[in-house]
């Protein structure tokens, strides 16, 4: 029914935002980690939405990119994951980190996500590995390097529970070993994740 809502960002909360458009203020449930990806209060924003319709009402979920919404929709295909749990997963891990954990068969990393136990982590691995969409509009991209450092990659790994200093050391060392190219960030993330998990 709704693909997206465009308007002024009027309020930001822990796990929701409000967007005002044509005199209507929409309350949108969003992943906690994505709140700041929508910008600052007063900014013109576009939120990509998904509508949940249930017996007692409706709820609009929103995401800063088509990519993140696609991951949300894929998560709901996993047995035992509904809209609330899918949102909780994306509040605990960014899509890029989730994809890296799945590709590395890293069940330990999946279990660090709040609300994900061993059984659900295994179901996620079986259902989602190789299926997550990675379009160019992802909030963490290879072009988002501050001063040559892999800032967003480090942040994503630290968000998974690894010590930030250990992450920085690992990424810095691996940066010299991974060949340049369009897939460098993905390969760097994969190797760093394996190295950090082995040392955990």
Reported as a single tens digit per residue, the pLDDT across 1-33 is 679 999 999 999 999 999 999 899 999 999 999
4-13 burial by CB neighbour count: b if 16+ within 10 A, else e?
ebebebbeee
Alpha-carbon torsion (180, 185, 191, 196), positive or negative? positive
Mean pLDDT of the chain: 85
Q: Is the pLDDT of residue 104 over 70?
A: yes
Question: How does DSSP classify residue 180?
Answer: P
Domains contained in the chain, CATH given: 4-63 (2.40.50.140), 66-128 (1.10.150.20), 151-199 (no CATH)
The first and second tokens of residue 19, run together, are 């967007």
pLDDT tens, position by position, 138-172: 444 333 333 334 777 787 787 777 888 888 888 88
Which pLDDT score, from 0 to 100, does residue 182 have? 73
Q: What is the pLDDT of residue 200?
A: 54
> Where do we find the tokens 């696609």?
70
Confidence at residue 1, expressed as pLDDT on a 0 to 100 scale: 61
Average pLDDT of the segment spanning 55-60: 88
**Residues in the chain, how many?**
200
């Amino acid at each position: 029914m709704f693909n997206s809502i465009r308007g002024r960002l009027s309020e930001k909360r822990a796990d929701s935002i409000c967007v005002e458009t044509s005199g209507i203020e929409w309350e949108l449930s969003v992943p906690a980690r994505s709140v700041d990806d929508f910008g600052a209060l007063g900014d013109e924003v576009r939120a990509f939405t998904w509508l949940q319709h249930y017996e007692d009402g409706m709820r609009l979920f929103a995401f800063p990119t088509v990519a993140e919404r696609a991951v949300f929709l894929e998560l709901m295909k996993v047995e035992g994951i509904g809209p609330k749990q899918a949102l909780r997963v994306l509040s605990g891990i960014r899509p890029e980190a989730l994809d890296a954990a799945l590709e590395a068969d890293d069940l330990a990393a999946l279990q660090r996500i709040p609300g994900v136990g061993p059984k659900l982590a295994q179901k996620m691995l079986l259902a989602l590995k190789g299926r997550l969409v990675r379009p160019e509009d992802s909030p963490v991209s290879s072009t988002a390097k501050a001063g040559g450092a892999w800032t967003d990659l480090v942040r994503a790994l630290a968000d998974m529970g690894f010590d930030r200093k250990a992450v920085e050391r690992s990424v810095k060392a691996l940066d010299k070993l991974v060949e340049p190219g369009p897939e460098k960030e993905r390969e760097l993330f994969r190797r760093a994740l394996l190295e950090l998990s082995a040392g955990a």
